[in-house]
Amino acid sequence: MSYEIVARPHQQNFIDWAKDKPKVLVLSADLTNSCEVGKWRDTYPDRFFSMGMAEQNMLGFAAGLAREGFEPWLHTFSVFLYRRPLDQLQMSVAYPSLKVRLVGFLPGIMTPGGVTHQAIEDIAIVRAIPNMTILEVGDATEVESVIEVAHEIDGPVYIRMLRGEVSRIFPKDEPFVLNTARILSTGSDITLITSGIMTEEALRAIPLLQDRGVSVSHLHVSTLKPFTDPRIISALKSAKHGIITMENHSIIGGLGSAVAEVMAENGIGVPLQRIGLKDTYAHGASQKYLMAEYFMDAQALIRAVENALGRKLNIDEAELEEQRSVTVHSSAKAEAL
Amino acid sequence: MSDHPAEIKEIERIAKGIRRRVLEHSIANNGGYMSQACSSAELLASLYGGILNFAPVGQPIDPPTFIGVPEVGIHTYKTGQQFHGAPGDQYDRLISSPAHYALVIYSALIETKRLREDGLEHFNRDGSTVEMIGAEHSPGFETTTGSLAQALSQAGGIALARKLKKEKGNTWVFMSDGEFQEGQTYEALQAAKFHGLDKLRVIVDVNLNQCDGPMDTVMRIEPLADRIRAFGWDVTVLDGHDIPAILAAAREATNNPHVLLCYTDPVRGLAIMEERKPTLHYLRFTGADERAKYEKAYQEMVK
Ligand SMILES: Cc1ncc(C[n+]2csc(CCOP(=O)(O)OP(=O)(O)O)c2C)c(N)n1
Ligand SMILES: [Mg+2]
């Protein structure tokens, strides 16, 4: 299994998309090139506003601009969009339900920048904010098509975005659709729900699981709020032996929690295993290392499936390694923070 | 005024060592926070080699491997403060705020024999505490400040606690100029003056640069000295490469919290970086050619 690697899918796509949309502005907090909008700034200098390293104020300016009919697209790392400016996000943006778009880069443990740069609880926090929509992309096709989806939403949107070298997993002509999971495989033993970069990681294990006779219903979720997709509910209902969620986030408050809520509300009574950070902060290291250290990789998924089935599948590390389509984001370490 | 030639010579040696180590590391790893070494070498060398009164550490310390994050009820987590020696009444403290200067700070620790000579071999390696962006377990750090402009407030708390304990040592904070864009910095200035923290000392690397380029094009912070004075602080403006001036300002007795605004040159000592202007924040070679140029500059530097 090998995917096309797209270099900086956001960069040119966002320029092309914004061409005929004069109300679309970019606000940036001194991470312009790191968030792939340096070229955007040079293309549309009149619609780009440098706010300096002052994120709380940036959220306030965004609110004011949105009240006056503009559509500000804030670009910075995920952590800097909701941690420090949480009150501004809530009272200035979310309460009045303004069309502010928060484009957050390096979600979860994708950055070696350590605990200060790792947005591991952003979904939990933003999910609890009324009026917010949360989108998370899992490949280059979604990076490109999430923009129009966010644009159409009549309220504030938080996007967990990808940058740099991004795999194209989904065909270019199958864009992001709001509140609609992608059904990647169907089966009845296990239902697996993955989001963001965890989908690619899970896809490494799926053929091996199928080879061992495990039938898996695998859904890729890219809308985390709202979380009312009937496809998800029916996939959860069909799971015989268990449900597994996999997210690049804390297991508290994110995808796993959202699935648990839907299960409880629908009386779905099979065991749920949540793969993700188990209520801990992480530290600065490579993505691959952290995914293994915190049991968030394909190996962890296989363990969870074995747990659910109550039997060993005898899949070894070498077999899994063969399924690795790319050395996971090989350039990540060299990226400027 | 310090005009002790031996002290100044030693600080010059440390500064030179900082630039050399950061350049060597950047060449070997195809990248690094090089402009920060160029701008702040004399500042960190003056701090570690002259200004700060730290307890000795004995042998240079081998950086510990990462053993886990702080957790409720578990007290095995050690901060990078150990590299500054045991804290004490008469000793100074240093809280480094811009955590992306870590490579520069580690180099200063090596040059002053607090971190082992091979310490940089652990830099940004999986499972190491010598993180790319320093956290509080990283050598020389005692707070987690990679989300910038949070250290001055924490240092304010430490200085306030030390005042309550009637300790004699100063609490120093090393800051970057980008941090003067965040509102929290000004809240900290306001509170430090209000609570009379006259043993709080701040040294700022005013290199007038940040990620996006020259600060004038990103978000202006000038007139910085006037701004800070308006908060009731004493401010000394100086050339951040002038070691005697840094030492003199640092040793000035003041009745207020005191800021040293050290204006610096982000390419000092590595002229070829001029070619990379206007964005200097992170050095990543564009290709083998550029890397070769830096290798040549390195050879010049060590001659
Ligand atoms: C709160 C916060 N916002 C954004 C960042 C990302 N960031 C890292 S360094 C930096 C530039 C800050 O300016 P400065 O320290 O003066 O940069 P330098 O002189 O080192 O180029 C930014 C914006 C951060 N670490 N913390
Ligand atoms: Mg600077």
Predicted confidence (pLDDT) per residue in A198-252, tens digit:
999 999 999 999 999 999 999 999 999 999 999 999 999 999 999 999 999 999 9
Token pair listed for B73: 């009820």
Instruction: Check if B124 contacts A (Cβ < 8 Å).
Output: yes
What is the B266 CA–ligand 2 centroid distance (Å)?
8
Q: Indicate the residue among A168, A195, A216 that finishes a domain.
A: A168
Q: Would you tell me how many other CB atoms lie within 10 Å of the CB of residue A46?
A: 7
| Together in a domain, A164 and A192 | no
For residues A160 and A252, membership in a common domain is answered with: no
Answer yes or no: do A285 and B31 touch at CB < 8 A: no
Report which ligand 1 atom has the smallest distance to the Cα of A117: 25
Cβ neighbours of A53 in B, within 8 Å: 148-149, 178-179, 181-182, 210, 219
**Residue A337 pLDDT > 70:** no
Q: B221 CA to middle of ligand 2, Å?
A: 11
Q: Are residues A104 and A242 in the same domain?
A: no
Chain A residue whose CA is closest to B180: A53
**pLDDT for the residue A219:** 98
Sign of CA dihedral A74, A78, A84, A86: positive
Asked if B219 lies within 8 A of A113 by C-beta distance, the reply is: no
- Give the C-alpha separation, B100 to A287, whole Å: 19
Residue ID of nearest Cα to ligand 1 atom 12: B178
DSSP helix/strand/coil, A23? coil
A82, A160 contact by CB (below 8 A):
no
A153 and A261 share one domain: no
In this prediction, residues A20-49 reach a mean pLDDT of 98
CA atoms of A332 and B133, how far apart (whole Å): 14
Measured distance CA(A200)–CA(A72) in Å, rounded: 31
Closest ligand to residue B35's CA: 1
Nearest-CA distance A114 → chain B (Å): 7
Closest-CA residue of chain B to A336: B282
Q: Which residue of B has its CA nearest to A286?
A: B126
Confidence at A2, pLDDT banded by 50, 70, 90: confident
Kindly report, residue by residue over A77-100, the tens digit of the pLDDT: 999 999 999 999 999 999 999 999
For B2, residues 6+ apart whose C-beta sits below 8 A from its C-beta are: B8, B50, B244, B247, B248, B251
- pLDDT reading at A327 higher than 50: no
Q: Whose alpha carbon is nearest atom 21 of ligand 1?
A: B210
Give the sheet arrangement for strand A48-50, strand by strand.
A48-50, A24-28, A71-77, A101-105, A157-160, A133-136, A223-225
pLDDT of residue A320: 87
Peptide bond before residue B223 is cis, with ω within 30 degrees of 0: yes
- In terms of C-beta density within 10 A (0-12 exposed, 13-18 middle, 19 or more buried), how is residue A58 classed? buried
Is A128 a member of any domain? yes
**A139 and A256 housed in the same domain:** no
For residues A97 and A201, membership in a common domain is answered with no
Residue A321's pLDDT is: 85
Distance A29 CA to ligand 1 centre (A): 9
DSSP character string of B128-162: BSS-SS--TTSTT--S--SSSS-HHHHHHHHHHHH
Q: Is the pLDDT of residue B187 over 70?
A: yes
Ligand 1 neighbour B219 (Cβ under 6 A): no
Q: Which residue has the tokens 């390694």?
A: A321
Q: Judge whether residue B3 has pLDDT over 70.
A: no
Say if A306 falls within a structural domain: yes
How many beta carbons lie within 10 A of that of residue A249, not counting itself? 32
Average pLDDT over residues A164-189: 97
Q: What is the pLDDT of residue A318?
A: 87
Whether A115 and A193 share a structural domain:
no
Looking up residue A51, the CATH number of its domain turns out to be 3.40.50.970
| Dist. CA B281 → ligand 2 center (Å) | 8
Examine the domain organization and report whether A28 and A163 are in the same domain.
yes
Cβ–Cβ of A33/B279 closer than 8 Å?
yes
Q: Is B148 touching ligand 1 by the criterion CB < 6 Å?
A: yes
Put simply, the answer to whether A334 touches B31 (Cβ < 8 Å) is: yes
pLDDT score for A336: 59
Residue A332 lies in a domain: no
Tell me if B69 and A83 make a contact (CB, 8 A cut-off).
no
B211 lines ligand 1 (CB under 6 A): yes
Confidence of residue A52 (pLDDT cuts 50, 70, 90): very high
Q: Shortest CA distance to B43 belongs to which of B18, B6, B21?
A: B18
B133 and A333 in contact by Cβ < 8 A? no
Same domain, residue pair A65 and A156: yes
Tell me the shortest Cα–Cα distance from B212 to chain A, in angstroms: 5
The crossing angle, in degrees rounded to 10, of helices B183-194 and B151-164 is: 10
Q: Which residue, A111, A143, A168, sits at the end of a domain? A: A168
Question: Would you state the pLDDT for residue A163?
Answer: 97
Q: Does A336 reside within a domain?
A: no
Say yes or no for a CB contact (<8 Å) between A280 and B145. no
Q: Which of A4-8, A108-112, A323-327, B270-274 has the lowest average pLDDT?
A: A323-327
Does A198 lie in the same domain as A159? Answer: no
| Model confidence pLDDT, tens digit, residues B224-233 | 999 999 999 9
Give the total number of structural domains in chain A: 2
Q: What is the mean pLDDT of chain B?
A: 96
Last residue of a domain, one of A168, A199, A232: A168
Task: Work out the average pLDDT over A64-72.
Answer: 98
- Does the CB atom of residue A31 touch ligand 1 within 6 A? yes
Res A328 pLDDT > 60: no
A329 within a domain of the structure (yes/no): no
B135 touches A at CB < 8 Å: yes
- Which atom in ligand 1 lies closest to the alpha carbon of residue B101? 20
Burial level of A158, CB count in 10 A (0-12/13-18/19+)? Answer: buried
Burial B141-162 (b: 16+ CB within 10 A, else e): bbbbbbbbbbbbbbbbebbbeb
pTM of the predicted model, to two decimals?
0.96
CATH code where residue A279 lies: 3.40.50.920
Whether residue A329 is predicted with pLDDT greater than 90 in this model: the reply is no
Check pLDDT > 80 for residue A297: yes
In chain B, what are the domains?
5-60+78-302 (3.40.50.970)
8 Å CB contact between B153 and B187: yes
Structure confidence at residue A330 (pLDDT):
40
Q: Does A269 lie in the same domain as A200?
A: yes
Which structural domain, as residue segments, surrounds residue A136? 11-168
**Among B126, B217, B219, beta carbon nearest to A286:** B126
Q: Is residue A85 located within the same domain as residue A29?
A: yes
DSSP state string for A148-205: HHHHT-SS-EEEE---SEEEE-S-TTS---TT--EEEE--SSEEEEEETTHHHHHHHH
Asked if pLDDT for residue A325 goes beyond 60, the answer is no
| Band of pLDDT at residue B259, cut at 50, 70 and 90 | very high
- Find the residue in B nearest to A51 (Cα): B219
Q: What is the ipTM of this complex?
A: 0.96
Q: Is residue A231 part of a domain?
A: yes
Q: Is residue A1 part of a domain?
A: no
pLDDT for residue B2: 53
pLDDT bracket for residue A333 (50, 70, 90): very low
Distance CA A55, CA B184 (A): 11
Q: Quick one: average pLDDT of B115-132? A: 97
Q: Which of A32, A57, A116 sits opposite B133 (nearest CB)?
A: A116
To test the contact with chain B by mutation, choose from A40, A86, A280, A337 the residue with the greatest count of B C-beta atoms within 10 A, namely A337
CB distance B281–A56 less than 8 Å?
A: no
